[in-house]
C-alpha cells in the first residue's frame, strides 16, 4: 500500500517581480486518508501552496519553480490543470472566483466540471445530487448561483469539488464564509472522506476547527515549514506564537478562576467539558453594566420588508435600533438576510415597505454617498471596495469627498492607517498585500470616514490572530469616539468577546435581540438551534450549567476569551 500520496521535495516558488520566495524549500510527505491542516500568519504561503498543488503555478500565477512535487503520482508543476482534475481539486478562499458564469442554476454549476470531463449524464445527476445533499443546499438546486449569499456560494463550490470525487481535495480557508452549523458539518464530512481513503489538505486560520478535525498540523512562516505535528501539540505550543485557540484561552481563564481542573492545555471542546468543575462554589454573578443610550438611537429600522426580483422574500417586518457607542452582533445562517439588511442601512437597497432612519431622519431616496458620514460598510468581499494604486490613496478617497479641510482629511487618513496597522504599507498597492491585510485596508478606508455607525460584514474571515488583534483595536478606537459598530459575522467567539448585544435573524425575521450577558436558557436554546453557540456558552450547556448562575457567568465571561 502506498504510504504517500502528496510528496514535495525542496519545493520553492517565487512570484514574478518578487525577490523573496513565497514557498522556500518545502519538503513534506502526506499519507492518504488523512486531514492535514496548513496554518500560519498572513503571507506565510498557505494559499500559494494550495494553488500550486492544484497546478496553478506557474501556468496561471507566473513565477519560477524549483524542486519537485507529486500529487497522486502526477506533477502539478508540469501537468495542466485539466490533467490534474482526476487527481486533485482545490476550493479557493473566494467562492466567487470559482463560479463559471455560464450556468443558470446551482445544480448545473456543481456539475459543470463533470460535464466538461465527459462524465455520463446519469452519473453527473447522481453525483450532483449527492454533493448538494452533503452541503445541505439541495433546496437551492434551481436557484441562480448569483442569487446566493456569500456563504451559500461557498457551499456550492465545495459541493462542486466533492462531486468531482478526486483522491486529493485541497481547501483554502473553507470555513471563512460558512455559518457555524455548516462549519461543523464540513468538518464531519472531511473526516468521513478521510476515513474512506480521501486525502484532505486544508489551509485554515480557525484553530479550534483545526484542533477538532485535523490529524496533522503544518505551520508555515515566511514560506518555510516552521512546525509539523499533531494538533494538540502544535496549537498548544506558545513558542510558535500562533495566537491562542479559544478553547485554550477559556481553559486558561477557567483554571485561574478555579473552575477548570485540567492539568494540561485544552485545545478541544471535549477536553474543556471534561475539566470543568460543575460543583465550583462561586459568589453571585456580576450584574452587567448598564449602557447609556439616546432614546432614538443612531440607526432605526422599522417594519422593513424586501424581496429580490425573483420574488423570494428576504426581509420580513424587521425592527432594529442601534445606539451610539455600542457593538451589535447580527447573526444568522447563510441566506438569512444579514448582508441584504446591511445594504438597506446605507441606501444600496431600498425597502419595499418600512423605514430606515439615521439619527432620526429617514434616508428616503438619498444616494449611499450622501449618507456615508452617518453609515458605512466594509463588504464581505473587499475586492468590491479596493481600486486605488496605494493603500494611502485608498484610505484617503472617502475623506476627500467629504466637506472637511485638507488638514482634517490628513488627520483621518493617518489615524485610520495607524489603528489598522497599515502605516508601513501606506505606499504599497493593496493587491500586493496578503488577502487578510487587504481586508484591513478596506476597514481603514471606512474608519477614515468616521461615520456614526460602521458595519463590518464578516470582518474576521481569513484573518490571522495578529490581524484580529488589530481589528479589535480599530473597533475599540471607534466605540471610544462614540461610534456604533454593527458586526455581521459567523465568528461566534469573536462576537461573544467583542460585542455587547446579539441580534439573531432567521428566515428574514429578527427572532432574538438581547445583551449577551442577559441571555436566558430559552434564548440560548434558540441561538443554539439557529447558528450554534460561542464556546463558553456551549461548554456551559454541555455541563448543564444554568444561565444566570455565577458559574455560567464565569464560564461565558468575555474576559475568558480575550
pTM: 0.85
DSSP states of 524-549 as a string? HHHHHHHT---HHHHHHHHTTPPTTS
pLDDT of residue 290: 47
Give the CA dihedral 415, 419, 420, 421, nearest 10 degrees. Answer: 100
Contact 336, 505 (CB under 8 A): yes
Neighbours of 270 (CB within 10 A): 13
Strand-pair category, 63-71 with 6-15:
antiparallel
Report the distance separating Cα 199 and Cα 35, nearest Å: 6
Predicted confidence at residue 351, as pLDDT, reads 93
Q: CA-CA distance, 332 to 185, in Å (whole number)? A: 16
**How many CB atoms sit inside 10 A of residue 414's CB?**
16
Rounded-to-integer distance, Cα 466 and Cα 31, Å: 31
The domains of the chain, with CATH numbers, are: 6-240 (3.40.50.300), 299-518 (3.40.50.300)
Alpha-carbon gap, residue 430 to 423, rounded angstroms: 13
CA 454 to chain centre: 18
Question: What residues contact 406, with CB distance under 8 A and at least 6 apart?
Answer: none
pLDDT below 50 — which residues of the chain? 289-290
Q: Which residue in the block uniquely carries the three cell numbers 483545526?
A: 210
At residue 281, the pLDDT reads: 66
Given this model, what pLDDT does residue 289 score?
A: 46
- Nearest residue to 324 via CA among 481, 109, 547: 481
Closest CA to 189 of 238, 148, 155: 155
Which residue in this structure is represented by grid cell 456604533? 484
CB atoms within 10 A of CB 364: 12
DSSP single-letter state for residue 95: G
Burial class (CB in 10 A: 0-12, 13-18, 19+), 20: exposed
Amino acid at each position: 500500500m502506498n504510504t504517500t500520496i502528496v510528496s514535495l521535495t525542496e519545493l520553492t516558488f517565487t512570484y514574478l517581480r518578487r525577490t523573496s520566495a513565497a514557498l522556500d524549500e518545502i519538503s513534506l510527505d502526506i499519507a492518504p486518508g488523512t486531514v492535514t491542516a496548513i496554518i500560519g500568519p498572513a503571507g506565510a504561503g498557505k494559499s500559494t501552496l494550495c494553488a500550486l498543488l492544484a497546478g496553478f503555478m506557474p501556468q496561471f500565477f507566473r513565477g519560477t519553480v524549483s524542486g519537485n512535487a507529486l500529487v497522486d503520482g502526477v506533477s502539478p508543476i508540469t501537468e495542466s490543470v485539466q490533467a490534474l482534475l482526476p487527481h486533485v481539486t482545490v476550493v479557493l478562499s473566494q467562492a466567487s472566483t470559482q463560479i463559471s458564469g455560464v450556468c443558470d442554476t446551482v445544480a448545473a454549476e456543481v456539475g459543470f466540471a463533470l460535464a466538461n470531463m465527459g462524465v455520463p449524464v446519469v452519473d453527473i445527476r447522481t453525483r450532483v445530487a449527492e454533493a448538494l445533499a452533503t452541503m445541505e443546499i439541495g433546496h437551492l438546486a434551481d436557484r441562480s448561483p448569483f442569487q446566493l449569499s456569500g456563504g451559500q456560494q461557498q457551499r456550492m463550490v465545495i459541493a462542486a469539488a466533492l462531486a468531482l470525487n478526486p483522491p486529493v481535495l485541497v481547501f483554502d480557508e473553507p470555513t471563512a464564509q460558512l455559518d457555524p452549523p455548516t462549519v461543523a458539518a464540513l468538518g464531519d464530512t472531511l473526516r468521513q472522506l478521510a476515513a474512506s481513503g480521501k486525502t484532505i489538505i486544508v489551509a485554515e486560520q480557525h484553530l479550534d476547527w483545526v484542533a477538532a478535525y485535523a490529524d496533522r498540523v503544518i505551520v508555515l512562516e515566511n514560506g518555510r515549514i516552521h512546525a509539523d505535528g499533531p494538533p494538540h501539540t502544535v496549537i498548544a505550543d506558545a513558542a510558535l506564537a500562533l495566537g491562542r485557540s479559544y478553547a485554550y484561552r477559556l481553559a486558561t481563564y477557567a483554571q485561574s478562576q478555579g473552575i477548570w481542573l485540567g492539568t494540561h492545555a485544552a485545545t478541544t471542546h471535549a477536553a474543556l467539558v471534561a475539566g470543568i468543575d460543575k460543583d465550583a462554589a462561586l459568589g453571585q454573578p456580576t450584574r452587567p453594566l448598564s449602557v447609556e443610550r439616546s432614546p432614538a438611537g443612531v440607526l432605526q429600522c422599522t417594519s422593513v420588508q424586501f424581496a429580490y426580483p425573483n420574488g423570494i422574500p428576504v426581509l420580513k417586518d424587521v425592527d432594529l435600533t442601534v445606539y451610539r457607542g455600542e457593538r451589535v452582533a447580527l447573526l444568522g445562517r447563510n441566506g438569512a438576510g444579514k448582508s441584504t439588511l446591511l445594504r438597506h442601512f446605507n441606501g444600496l437597497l431600498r425597502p419595499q415597505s418600512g423605514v430606515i432612519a439615521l439619527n432620526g431622519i429617514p434616508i428616503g431616496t438619498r444616494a449611499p454617498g450622501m449618507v456615508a458620514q452617518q453609515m458605512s460598510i466594509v463588504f464581505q468581499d473587499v475586492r468590491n471596495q479596493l481600486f486605488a494604486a496605494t493603500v494611502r490613496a485608498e484610505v484617503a478617497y472617502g475623506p476627500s469627498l467629504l466637506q472637511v479641510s485638507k488638514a482634517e482629511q490628513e488627520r483621518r487618513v493617518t489615524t485610520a492607517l495607524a489603528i489598522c496597522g497599515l502605516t508601513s504599507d501606506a505606499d504599497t498597492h493593496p493587491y500586493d498585500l496578503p488577502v487578510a491585510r487587504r481586508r484591513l485596508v478596506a476597514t481603514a478606508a471606512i474608519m477614515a470616514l468616521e461615520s456614526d455607525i460602521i458595519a463590518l460584514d464578516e470582518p474576521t474571515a481569513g484573518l490571522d490572530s495578529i490581524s484580529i488583534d488589530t481589528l479589535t483595536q480599530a473597533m475599540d478606537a471607534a466605540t471610544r469616539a462614540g461610534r456604533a459598530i454593527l458586526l455581521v459575522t459567523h465568528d461566534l467567539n469573536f462576537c461573544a468577546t467583542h460585542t455587547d448585544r446579539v441580534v439573531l435573524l432567521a428566515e428574514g425575521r429578527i427572532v432574538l435581540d438581547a445583551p449577551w450577558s442577559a441571555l436566558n436558557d430559552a434564548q440560548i436554546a434558540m441561538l443554539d438551534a439557529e447558528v450554534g453557540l460561542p464556546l463558553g456558552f456551549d461548554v456551559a450547556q454541555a455541563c448543564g450549567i444554568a444561565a444566570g448562575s455565577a458559574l455560567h457567568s464565569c464560564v461565558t465571561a468575555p474576559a475568558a476569551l480575550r
